[in-house]
Amino acid sequence: MSFTLDLCKFIDLPKIHDPRGNLTFIEGNQHVPFDIQRVYYLYDVPGGSERGGHAHKALHQLIIAMSGSFDVVLDDGKDKKRFHLNRSYNGLYVCPMIWRELDNFSSGSVCMVLASNRYEEGDYYRDYAEFMRARWKA
Ligand code: TYD
């Protein structure tokens, strides 16, 4: 299977409306197309910061703006697209082999990421040229 930008899409998550406050839930392999092995989040992000700047060899992820907003720029080596995330009931699915950059964080924003595997440095491409070489080989 070749992992390209067109596979990366917003996923509408279930939302239980309630006058006491809304509730959203996410089940692995049900609302996201992978088993959830890890959750991490970015917070206290200073204005003007940029995060990401890497790709993953095999990791599937769902990125959610739990609070505030930010942008995610995805690049499959051929096409590039900017997504604006600002809803906690909407997640951006990112398949493997996609270079990602996160920027434009609003103050107080929280970026939560659900991931298909535990942290493994060997799963990263941190060098864009190396990522591009791997993409064109695939
Ligand atoms: P990194 O993935 O480069 O962050 P970002 O993409 O948000 O800029 O991770 C930053 C540091 O945190 C790096 O040293 C690896 C470490 N880290 C873990 O130890 N476990 C994790 O689950 C993640 C995502 C990062």
Closest atom of ligand 1 to 119 CA is 22
Give the other-Cβ count within 10 Å of 99's Cβ.
20
Residue pLDDT, tens place only, 106-118 = 999 999 999 999 9
Query: What's the pLDDT at 107?
Result: 95
Q: How would residue 137 be classed by pLDDT, with cut points 50, 70 and 90? A: confident
Domains of the chain: 5-137 (2.60.120.10)
Q: How would residue 121 be classed by pLDDT, with cut points 50, 70 and 90? A: very high
Residue pLDDT, tens place only, 14-52 = 999 999 999 999 999 999 999 999 999 999 999 899 999
Q: In testing the pocket of ligand 1, which one of 51, 62, 101 has its CB within 8 Å of the most ligand atoms?
A: 51
Q: What separation in Å is there between the alpha carbon of 20 and the centre of ligand 1?
A: 35
Stretch (H or E) spanning 130: helix 128-137
Does the pTM of the predicted model rise above 0.95? yes
| Residue 78 to residue 10: CA distance in whole angstroms | 20
- Residues labelled as active-site residues: 54
| Residue 138, pLDDT above cutoff 80 | no
